[in-house]
Structure formats: structure tokens, C-alpha cells
Structure 1
């Protein structure tokens, strides 16, 4: 396994301004590469990462959820959850209904078609994760998870 530094990858002549800068840029570079590859995989199934995330949230909950609750659970902040749900509804992957007690609340539910689509994605996505991070030991994966969670705790 080669250990190429970000400085070398970017052909950066000078050292980074700080270790914090180097670590942050490494996170950004890694996230970008993962997102690009994951985006390509999901496009094969006609979904964006955000659409996939909504469907996973709904499948995991096993019950309709208010759209704002879905927005709160998203991996990435989505500025227009309504538009995202509109597109999923047009694909017949979710349905919506207004709460009878409070008409401002809209419940979203995954359809059978949405569940079937996720089932088709499950195996290729598991393989994607193994290809991406399978070379790391369980100890390294736990440490990576711990460190990324720790770094995010400062942003809350």
C-alpha cells in the first residue's frame, strides 16, 4: 500500500499552513472522491445521493415521517426538501399526505416501488463500501469513524 500525501497528490510546492488545514483538506478530498463514485453508482438506478438518502430514511423508519423530520435526518443538508420529495413522488417512489390535525405537516411514505428499488441497490452498495474501505482493518475503520465523529462534534 502506497502512502501518498495530499501535498504530493495536489503537486503542492509548499507545506500546508497548519496540520488542521491539511487534515481538513484531506477530509474534503476524500469526501469528494467518495461522493463522485457513489453518485455514479446511484445514477445507474436513476437516483441522486439525496434522493437515495430520503428513501433509506423512510425504509429504515418503516412508517411515514413528516418531511421536516426527514430533512433533519439527512446526511447532507438539503435546502429544498419539498422539491426533493416532489421528484421522488413523480418517480412513484414516495407518497405524501397532509396531517389531518395540523395541515402544515406533510407525511411522506416510501412506496413498494421505492422499497424494491432500494433492494436492487443494496448489494452493489455493499460491494462499493467493501471496495472503497475493505482494505482497512476493523480497528482502523473504528478509529476512522471515531475521528470523523470527533471532528464533527466541534462544528455543532
Structure 2
């Protein structure tokens, strides 16, 4: 299972790098910001809020945001009520890139799974959803599984 996840993740990473110059973490941040803006208020997110929503732990979210801002994919601004709070929002360029990448990533995922029947895909989705509902903590060192 880990080999499959690594192979498919590598293909997504190659696609993101080739068509947007992005890392998987940067792509994830753009998606998080788009989701936040389409929700209530659409007020953007702070660095801490972005870090909490990332799929994988990123030790330095600020540096990640710096790179995205340098590429004009996000903009950051200080809040009027509390100047210490910096909020990040997607720029139109970031939204356009994300829309383009959505199509490319969806096409890649389709190609990755096109050899499975509709019933097999439905079964796989059910199994993944069931596994995700019951995460197990890793055993401590020396403890059998």
C-alpha cells in the first residue's frame, strides 16, 4: 500500500512541478485558501489556521507562504482590528493556476485508476473511508501490532 501511495504521489508531484512549479504542500495551501474563501465570510486564513488544515505536517508554514506570495499566487495583509494578525488570501493568478491544476490532477487520477471497474472503485472508496474513520495510533517501540 505504501508503494502505491508513493508512486501515485510522485506522479502528482511531477505534474505540479511541471505545470505550476509547485510542491505538493504549496498546492495544498492554495486549495485550503480557496476552500476558506468559498466558505462563510471568505476572510482568508492566518498562518496557524493554514498549518492546522494541511494534510501533512510542514514545520515552516511562513516560509511556504513567502514562496507563494513571491509567485503572486497569494496575498497577505494585516488585519485592521489587530495588526499582529496576518491573513492570507488567494490571488486571481493563484485561483487560475489552481483551476488549471484541478483539471490536470483529476485527469491524472483518472488515468491512475482507469484499469479498475466501477464496482472496484466503489469498493476501494468504501474501504478508504472506513479506514480513515478509525485511525490507529502507532504502537510504542517494541510493542507488537
Give structure 2 stretches of 5+ with no counterpart: 139-145
2:95 alignment partner, one of 115, 131, 135? 115
Report whether the alignment pairs 1:31 with 2:5.
Answer: yes
**1:37 offset after TM fit, Å?**
0.8
2:30 alignment partner, one of 55, 59, 77? 55
Give structure 1 stretches of 5+ with no counterpart: 1-25
Structure number, greater radius of gyration: 1
Q: Determine helix, strand or coil for the equivalent of 1:101.
A: coil
Please show how residues 57-72 of structure 1 align to structure 2 within 5 Å: 57-62=32-37, 63=42, 64-72=44-52
**1:153 offset after TM fit, Å?**
4.7
With structure 1 as the length reference, what TM-score do the two structures score? 0.75
2: distance between equivalents of 1:116 and 1:130?
Answer: 22
Aligned to 1:129: 109
What's the C-alpha RMSD, in Å, of the aligned pairs?
A: 1.7
Q: Which has the higher contact order (CA 8 A, sep 6+)?
A: 2
**1:149 offset after TM fit, Å?**
3.9
Deviates more, 1:78-87 or 1:126-135: 126-135
With structure 2 as the length reference, what TM-score do the two structures score? 0.80
